[in-house]
Amino acid sequence: MSGGDGECVEVAAAVDVVHIRDSKVRSGPVLTVTPDAWAGLVRLAADQTI
């Protein structure tokens, strides 16, 4: 996912978890959430107007 302002995240979906990290800081922290939590975040983001 990438915006025009250069802020990017990488998302890797595994069987039971979704890993999220800053694409510019590959050795930085990784946020790990459940697939349901990720789906909820995507739904929330889709409902927002920019």
Domain membership of residue 41 (yes or no) is: yes
| Domain total in the chain | 1
Q: DSSP of 12-45, one letter per residue?
A: EE-SS-EEEEETT-TTS--EEE-HHHHHHHHHHH
Closest alpha carbon to 16 in 42, 43, 40, 36: 36
Q: For residue 46, give the 3-state DSSP assignment.
A: helix
Domain membership of residue 3 (yes or no) is: no
Compute the distance between CA of residue 50 and CA of residue 45 in angstroms, rounded to an integer: 10
Q: Band of the pLDDT at 48, cuts 50, 70, 90?
A: confident
Instruction: Decide which of 28 and 1 is more confident.
Output: 28
Domain residues for 19?
A: 9-46
Domain membership of residue 23 (yes or no) is: yes
Domain membership of residue 33 (yes or no) is: yes
Domain membership of residue 20 (yes or no) is: yes
pLDDT computed for residue 8 by the predictor? 87
pTM above 0.95, yes or no: no
Domain membership of residue 1 (yes or no) is: no
Domain membership of residue 42 (yes or no) is: yes
Q: What is the pLDDT of residues 3-47, one digit of tens each?
A: 566 678 899 999 999 999 999 888 999 999 999 999 999 999 898
pLDDT computed for residue 14 by the predictor? 93
